[in-house]
Chains A and B, each alone.
Chain A
Amino acid sequence: MFQRRSRFGFLERTIADLAEILDHAETAAQSSGNAGLVQQLDPRVKVCGALVLIVAAVSTTHLWMTGAVFLFSLLLIVLSHLSLRLYFKRTWLGVLFFTGLIALPAIVTTPGLVILQVPLLHWAVSKQGLTTAFRLLARAETAATITMLLILTTQWTHVLKSLRYFYLPLLVVTILSMTQRYLFLLLQLTKNLLDARSSRKVGQWSVSQQRELSASVLSVLMSRSLFLSEEVYLAMQSRGFTGEIHLLDDFSFRWRDWLSVVILITVIALLFLIS
């Protein structure tokens, strides 16, 4: 079993992960430019709304409320012309696998009313275990759905700028933006380095060879990061930066945004009243 894993060793897997990340960024950039319902809203409304919905879905003790939020998100997904198939592949399947794996043992470890016995192993599946696992899964899926909705309908830079309005310090927003900007540069560089090594790979590499490769790739990345940071500092100075940070955005609230705020408040209020 371990032998087979080496064939899809760290090199191939890291390259695959990188490709997926870069692809995700590209998809998000494109879909957030499309003319769907949620795309048109002010970023501040979207960020606030997403936060409120996630908190509602996660903190409730009633499963139906989580379900309601999920359905509401589905509605928004459809109205924003987002691909459900993409959602399934990227988000729902991943969360099912990950959370499912973590939640599965809970079915037998949670004490309570025994519903059935697993044959051969004699493990007791309890009703409480099933409810817990299902609850966990529902919450995880709903939260992930909302987060993805935000990212697929809002330009990332707008998300960051809108955080200013939620009292995130200017310094933090600036660093966040710069990190995100250079992240893709580093990711691309990493992919290039690994692609180059991968094409020169003949046969299997020993673990120590692989580790040497990771160490050297990370060393190059660190060098590049430090070098770039110095150069960027010079570039900032050259353009007049003296230490004071200023930010500019072109957000403006329109009737659509006011309407969304009203709808959101109504939905949340309803949910709380019913529960």
Chain B
Amino acid sequence: MSIYDLQNANYRYQEVLALDSVTCAIERGERIAILGANGSGKSTLLRLLDGLYFAQSGSVSFEGRELNEESLQDENFVYEFRKRVGFVFQNPDVQLFNPTVFDELAFGPLQLRWSRKQIIEAVDIMLERMNLMHLKHRVPHRLSGGEKKRVALASVLMLDPEVLLLDEPTAYLDPKSQSQMIDFLVECQHDKTVITATHDLEIVGDIAERCIVFEEGRVAQSGTPSQILGDESLLRRTSLIHEHRHRHGSDVHKHPHLHKFHTHIQGSVSRIRPLTDSPGSP
């Protein structure tokens, strides 16, 4: 049985059809990247997968059980579901609603009624693991962007969920923090089902084995990272890359690219690192 099964799921937000007849299945242990430009429906999909929004028509099922208002009122189901599925929001200020880092990490276990001693110990262990011990009593307002993201991730990982839903994990981060985040995600993903929504094509190869591309609420394409990243027309159509004009000295040329560094030798085509190569190759 797939861990997630969507059948013609629709979701309308005010006047906009955010998800349009989405059908797909996600298997246990898969690492999936949901790709799409802003507004393509990625965030909405994640929220449906976390039982925060409910499909207005069609269905979204978790291990065979449909996620709707009724099932999310069943106390036992909710208890299990919230323990097993963790969601890291795009905007860390939304996620960090507790007074201090300590409280944030303790929130999940508190809701699940762990004992006081268990919680305090578990929080300390996680703080060490994520290198956050020096921020234990810090208020969220005084954390940097990268620290906030780490705290957000740590607080979700406290319950050791089997499914991780990540909404733009590299957003709000400077390049160094971004690569730290990616490293961490790659590390901790053993035997978890990880579904990441992003429009950052550079990280896709590291974090996913399968990509699903969204366009205006619909599934445009599905495939491996190399298949998807090699399909330039798809990427352009779905606004994941764009064509762009610029100058080198007196020459003007245009090509589709991801704003990567490249040099231009007079008259010849510039050396752009192809998207399908894995990072680190020349």
Q: How far, in Å, is B262 (CB) from chain A's closest CB?
A: 35
A-B contact count (CB 8 A): 84
Indicate whether A235 sits within 8 Å of B95 (C-beta atoms), given known contacts A240-B108, A240-B111, A246-B110. Answer: yes
Indicate whether B220 reaches chain A with its CB closer than 8 angstroms: no
B107 touches A181 (CB 8 A): no
Indicate whether A263 reaches chain B with its CB closer than 8 angstroms: no
Q: How many residues of chain B get a CB closer than 8 Å to chain A's CBs?
A: 40
- A177-209 interface mask toward B, CB cutoff 8 Å, 1 = contact, 0 = none? 110111011001000000000000000000000
Indicate whether A242 reaches chain B with its CB closer than 8 angstroms: yes
Chain B residue numbers with a CB within 8 Å of A188 are: 141
A234 touches B139 (CB 8 A): no
Indicate whether A160 reaches chain B with its CB closer than 8 angstroms: yes
Nearest-neighbor residue (CB-CB) of B104 within chain A: A239
- A244-266 interface mask toward B, CB cutoff 8 Å, 1 = contact, 0 = none? 10111010000000000000000
Chain B residue numbers with a CB within 8 Å of A157 are: 99-100, 103, 137, 139
- A229-247 interface mask toward B, CB cutoff 8 Å, 1 = contact, 0 = none? 0011011111111101011
Indicate whether A232 sits within 8 Å of B94 (C-beta atoms), given known contacts A180-B99, A237-B52, A239-B155. Answer: yes
Q: How large is the interface on A (under 10, 10 to 19, 20 to 34, 35 or more residues)?
A: 20 to 34
Chain B residue numbers with a CB within 8 Å of A234 are: 47, 52, 94
Indicate whether A225 reaches chain B with its CB closer than 8 angstroms: no
Indicate whether A79 reaches chain B with its CB closer than 8 angstroms: no
Chain B residue numbers with a CB within 8 Å of A178 are: 97, 99
Indicate whether A228 reaches chain B with its CB closer than 8 angstroms: yes
B100 touches A29 (CB 8 A): no
B108 touches A239 (CB 8 A): yes
B52 touches A240 (CB 8 A): no
Indicate whether A147 reaches chain B with its CB closer than 8 angstroms: no
Chain B residue numbers with a CB within 8 Å of A250 are: 102, 120
Q: List the interface of chain A (C-beta within 8 A of B).
A: 25-26, 29, 155-157, 160, 177-178, 180-182, 184-185, 188, 228, 231-232, 234-242, 244, 246-248, 250
Q: List the interface of chain B (C-beta within 8 A of A).
A: 47, 50, 52, 75, 78-79, 82-83, 86-87, 89, 91, 93-100, 102-103, 106-108, 110-113, 116, 119-120, 137, 139-142, 155-156, 159
Q: A156-B99, A185-B93, A239-B107 are in contact. List 8 more A-B contacts (CB 8 A).
A: A231-B94, A232-B94, A235-B97, A238-B52, A239-B108, A240-B82, A241-B111, A246-B111
